[in-house]
Structure 1
Amino acid sequence: MTNKVIPYGKQSISQDDIDAVIDVLKSDWLTQGPKVPAFEQAIADYCGVNFACATNSATSALHIACLALGVGESDIVWTSPISFVASANCALYCGAKVDFVDIDLDTGNMSPSALEQKLISAKKIDSLPKVVIPVHLAGQSCDMQAIYQLATKYDFKIIEDASHAIGAKYLDKPVGNCEFSDICVFSFHPVKIITSAEGGMAVTNSKKLDKKMKRLRSHGITNNPNEMTESSHGPWYYQQLELGFNYRMTELQAALGLSQLKQLDSFVRTRNDMAKKYNRAFANSNIVHLTQSNYCYSSYHLYIVRLTHSGIAEHKSVITSMREQEIIAHLHYIPIHLQPYYQELGFSEGDFPNAETYYKQAVTIPLHPTMTADEQQFVINTLIGLV
């Protein structure tokens, strides 16, 4: 094997992508112009959803999604402890309280049965969540129909954190169609399925929510006379109706995203083919990969295995040893409730046992379309040799 480092994830940039960005650089528009709404429409069309709101990151999209649903200081938001901290932080930005729902160890996703039990208990003490944010770990959708049925019964809203899952399917429909959610959020960070360098998107079937999010991403400002509190003073006039943010996506990002979107299905097919190769290679070993539900088609943003017969010391040793071989094994994620900041909020070890067990076992190994067959085989041989 060469001395080339094999990252766990990597963007795949074509000449068409480069040309698309150069065309914008030569145009009259660099920040807000025609590419942003074109990218929004293309994502909406791809997902089969009515509206899409582009942002400068998925974190920003999660924040304004919470605000659009009215999350505030007296509210509670639940999410998964196995995610990046943004899935929980977005609620704290709104002044809300955050709590977590334990995962299903086989999938790494929020457990509908754990959610139901937590809802039953919360109802007894009048502490039901206003919003639940399921996280589609590694590109596989949570069981959204089951979660939606609970939302109907217990009266909470749903934001799908699909940062990993653009191009995935649930019940043979694209993730992001919002059949079982109010808003769905995607990420276009460089290691995601497609990239806009940085960027996010919040999709919804609600015109009201879309309008709210688009205003919040741009300082709370409108230039639409129909939304103003008085007659417009002229073509230059705008009004700030609420406190918003500078969360806008640029033309450069949108142009790259539009170009990347053309390759999305190909990227996802390649990722699934590579995942199948890993699955076959690990079939008769102590390496257990996350289960893919038969009602899901994963986009395989990540390939995560669990070392079920290892202790935490051996677990660390495997990741360290792989990195010594120039294979950037990683761990997605440290349970959010164990972060020092969240422990100061009252969370502690033992609160979410499955998430904590997962953390002691999980390893993310490289999977991205730029990997060669030889590189993937080297990863397979190295990992099997270590466990």
Structure 2
Amino acid sequence: MKNSKPIPYGRQHITQEDIEAVTSVLQSDILTQGPYIEEFEKKFANYIGSTYAVAVANGTAALHLCALALGVNSSTKVITTSITFAASANCIHYCGGSIDFVDIDEQLYLLDFDKVEKQIQSKPAGFYNGIVAVDFAGQAIDLEKLRKLANTHKLWIIEDACHAPGGYFTDSRNIKQNCGNGTYAELAIFSFHPVKHIATGEGGMITTNDKSLYDKLILLRTHGITRKPELLIENHGGWYYEMQELGYNYRITDFQAALGISQLKRATEGLQKRKSIARKYNAAFAQIESIVTPSFEDGHAYHLYVIQVPDRLDLYNYLRSKNIFAQVHYIPVHLMPYYKQLGWKKGDLPLAEAYYEHCLSLPMYPTLSEEELNYVIECIIQYYSK
């Protein structure tokens, strides 16, 4: 078995159509705040099934704006998972709030609802304000169940769906609920980083069904400034604008939006390829006792294909020697030095920590060829045959 070309865990897919879409904007008169942004927002909202969408600079900016729109401040306390990218927790700290991490479900690697409820009940009524729920790896969290829990304790929900455009869960009425569609969460966010399903270089999107939150996000995205005549307190003429809140420059560019529109056309096709890769991995590793594979679910968006193995470091190094660049997702956020300074320590979340000790993300992206996929599988089988 030989492979001279590196195989990463994730890779963007840029076509000639994508290049032409970007080039057309670069050759136009407007590069930043042009018509493609609104078009991208409308088409993405339609794809997800939400009423509104707000395009922003990146997924982290999306999370920050969600926290601001929900009024997070120094008295706000929020629950989230530790198996996520740091931004899922950091966004609350940006606004002066604080985070309590809750352990994961052993099978799904998502927030364990029983543990969430236990954590809430361990504090006085009204102690917590919200939950940041993460669709980790593309596995859709059951927001209907979480919504019932949140309603009981008067909590809002931000859904971090960065890994899960096109993912869904089926609710108690047997209705498919797309990740980010706004049925059960106040706000949801997506990322368009190159390794995600839809790539715009950097970029993100917030989705919601709440008009008041949508209006607030639009204002906060652009320095808190508005030019809309109907919203102005005063009006000195056609040039006039007002800064009505302390906002941020979290805008996306028009050429990024054009790329996003072009990429969105292939979103369904790319998702089906990811599912095909997951099926093939699962079948190939079914008889290897040392590998725990994710159970296959049609609603899983498979941003990541994560296995659990007893000898993660050895396998990681072996694959790198074969030019296969598997990755680890994620180092538990509560064990990062910043959060350890706030009092978190090893042993606080035993299931999240055990997951981290054994997890490995294998190559998963739509342009992974059959030859490359077979090579990855053969290398892993060869490793365990020893």
**Interval of TM-score (by shorter of Structure 1 and Structure 2):** over 0.9
- 2: distance between equivalents of 1:385 and 1:150? 46
Cα drift, residue 15 of structure 1 = 0.8
Corresponding position of 2:381:
384
Aligned length: 377
In structure 1, the partner of 2:299 is: 297
1:255 aligns with 2:258: yes
Runs of 4+ aligned residues of structure 1 deviating over 6 Å after TM superposition are none
Identical amino acids, percent of aligned pairs: 43
Match runs of 1:268-307 below 5 Å: 268-285=271-288, 286-292=290-296, 297-307=299-309
Q: How far 1:323 moved relative to its partner? A: 1.0
1:292 CA drift (Å): 4.5
Deviates more, 1:62-71 or 1:173-182: 173-182
Q: In structure 2, what is the equivalent of residue 375 of structure 1?
A: 372
Deviates more, 1:31-40 or 1:98-107: 98-107
Preserved CA contact (<8 Å) 1:108 1:290:
no
Contact 1:306 1:358 in 2 (8 A): yes
Question: What residue is the counterpart of 1:191 in the other structure?
Answer: 195
Does the CA-based 8 Å contact 1:222-1:238 persist in structure 2?
Answer: yes
Distance 1:213 1:77 in 2: 20
Structure 1 residues 174-183 or 29-38, which shifts more?
A: 174-183
Corresponding residue for 1:160?
A: 159
TM score, norm. by length of structure 2: 0.95
Offset at 1:181? Answer: 0.3
Q: Of 239, 242, 245, which aligns to 1:239?
A: 242
In the alignment, which of 177, 180, 184 is matched to residue 176 of structure 1?
180
1:365 equivalent in alignment to 2:367: no
Give the partner amino acid of 1:69.
Answer: L
What is aligned with 2:110? 109
Distance in 2 between the 1:48 and 1:41 partners?
10
* 2:165 match: secondary structure: coil
Measured in 2, the distance between the counterparts of 1:321 and 1:179 equals: 44
CA distance in 2, matches of 1:18, 1:92: 38
Cα distance in 2 between the residues matched to 1:199 and 1:128: 34
Distance 1:170 1:262 in 2: 23
1:63 aligns with 2:60: no
CA distance in 1, matches of 2:136, 2:284: 22
Point out where structure 2 has 5 or more consecutive residues left out of the alignment. 171-175
**Offset of residue 2 of structure 1:** 2.4
Output the CA distance in 1 between the equivalents of 2:101 and 2:116.
Answer: 9
Moved more, 374-383 or 132-141: 374-383
Shift of 1:126: 4.4
Q: Distance in 2 between matches of 1:181 and 1:91?
A: 17
Give, in angstroms, the shift of residue 229 of structure 1: 2.3
In 2, Cα distance between equivalents of 1:213 and 1:292: 36
- Partner AA of 2:95 in structure 1: C
User: Does the 8 Å CA contact 1:112/1:143 hold for their aligned counterparts?
Assistant: no
Match of 2:210 in 1: 206
Question: Does the aligned pair in 2 maintain the 1:49–1:176 contact within 8 Å?
Answer: yes
How far residue 372 of structure 1 moved from its aligned partner, in angstroms, is 1.0
Contact 2:193 2:200 (8 Å CA) reproduced: yes
Native 8 Å contact 2:278 2:296 kept in 1: no
1:201-229 alpha-carbon deviations (Å, 9 max, x no partner) = 00000111011111111111111222222
- Superposition deviation, residue 127 in structure 1: 6.0
Provide the aligned C-alpha RMSD in A.
1.2
Distance 1:197 1:142 in 2: 27
